[in-house]
Amino acid sequence: MAYSTILYEADDRVAWITLNRPDKMNAMSVRLEAEFQDALEIADNDPDVRVVVISGAGGRAFSAGFDFGDEDEAATGEVRRTIDDWGRRMKKDVKFLNSPFNCSKPVIAMINGYCLAGALELAQMCDMRYCSDDARFGFVESRFAAGLPNLAIMPWIMGQRCRELIYTGDMFDAQEAFRLGLMNRVYPKEQLEEEVTRIAKRMSRVAMPTLVWSKKALNNTLLAAGFDSALQYSAQACLIMDVSESEFKHFRKLQETEGVAAAIKWRDSLFAPFESEKSWKKSAKK
């Protein structure tokens, strides 16, 4: 099937889904969400595929997150003014973000460059995450008083250390992501694809029932501990954040009247006086 926002190929038991909007830093649009889920379903139903790898085209970013200037959304006439409008969009986003978790086969996120906001949540819903040494991460939506439906995934991966990252919106690098347990491994940029391919091929040599039922068992361990309830509450909290009176509305107004760049410039100006080298960087140099 031909896609316009992703690439899909399957070879030797491994399916590759590439977010393919490099001019937009692979920002996730309505169309990309739909095409991604379609491709993932194809891989899930293909008896010759045992492992799925997700990556981003262009080398600059896995993805910068959800597309604020989504032309596909504008073309549908969909607007988000009321809590019901936001709720309908939230439901779509939750289904998209949860799709790697709900895929019956192991899903790997191969992260090269920036992985921000919703893209970070998507990556966390994958089974494993491998990144290049120049990768950069951040729950940056905190900085314009917004939330994302799967923010509650973070404590399950990195524990309560995620609070600082969520409350500040600070960005962090690959080595910090590895230290926090967010990344399984970090590789030199030029070796990332080769190393991830090697891991995926090894994994794909495991018998299909073992892979599928191991994932079911691991997923159900999380579900039994309340994982699904946490995500549902997170989505509701996000919905409240999105419709509340806050800086987010000014950010949106600037975005609509002056463009995304102007909105981001205004947002960054609020934090600029307080930016400094992170304490964990200072500690790493000692």
pLDDT, tens only, 166-223: 888 889 999 999 999 999 999 999 999 999 999 999 999 999 999 999 999 999 999 9
* Residue 91 is assigned to a structural domain of this protein: yes
* Residue 1 is assigned to a structural domain of this protein: no
* Residue 45 is assigned to a structural domain of this protein: yes
Question: Is residue 45 very low, low, confident or very high in pLDDT (cuts 50, 70, 90)?
Answer: very high
State the sign of the Cα–Cα–Cα–Cα dihedral 74, 77, 82, 85: negative
What residues make up the domain containing 127?
A: 6-285
Give the tokens for residue 11: 């070879």
Domain count, the chain: 1
Whether pLDDT at 279 is above 50: no
CA-CA distance, 116 to 65, in Å (whole number)? 5
Q: Which residue has the higher pLDDT, 285 or 15?
A: 15
* Residue 241 is assigned to a structural domain of this protein: yes
Q: What is the DSSP string of 118-165?
A: HHHHHHHTSSEEEEETT-EEE-GGGGGT---TTGGGHHHHHGGGHHHH
Among residues of the chain, what percentage have pLDDT more than 70?
86
Whether pLDDT at 80 is above 50: yes
Provide mean pLDDT across the span 9-29: 96
Closest by CA to 103, choosing from 126, 69, 83, is 126
Question: Is residue 280 very low, low, confident or very high in pLDDT (cuts 50, 70, 90)?
Answer: very low
Which uninterrupted H or E stretch holds 17? Answer: strand 14-19
* Residue 96 is assigned to a structural domain of this protein: yes
* Residue 222 is assigned to a structural domain of this protein: yes
Residues 115-147 have pLDDT tens digits of: 998 999 999 999 999 999 999 999 887 777 666
Give the other-Cβ count within 10 Å of 92's Cβ: 15
Q: Report pLDDT for 122.
A: 95
Q: Which residue has the higher pLDDT, 73 or 23?
A: 23
- Collapse the DSSP code of 62 into the 3-class scheme (helix H, G, I; strand E, B; otherwise coil) and give the result: strand
* Residue 253 is assigned to a structural domain of this protein: yes
Provide mean pLDDT across the span 62-89: 68
Pairing state between β 128-132 and 107-111: parallel
CATH number for 92 = 3.90.226.10
* Residue 272 is assigned to a structural domain of this protein: yes
CA-CA distance, 34 to 176, in Å (whole number)? 32
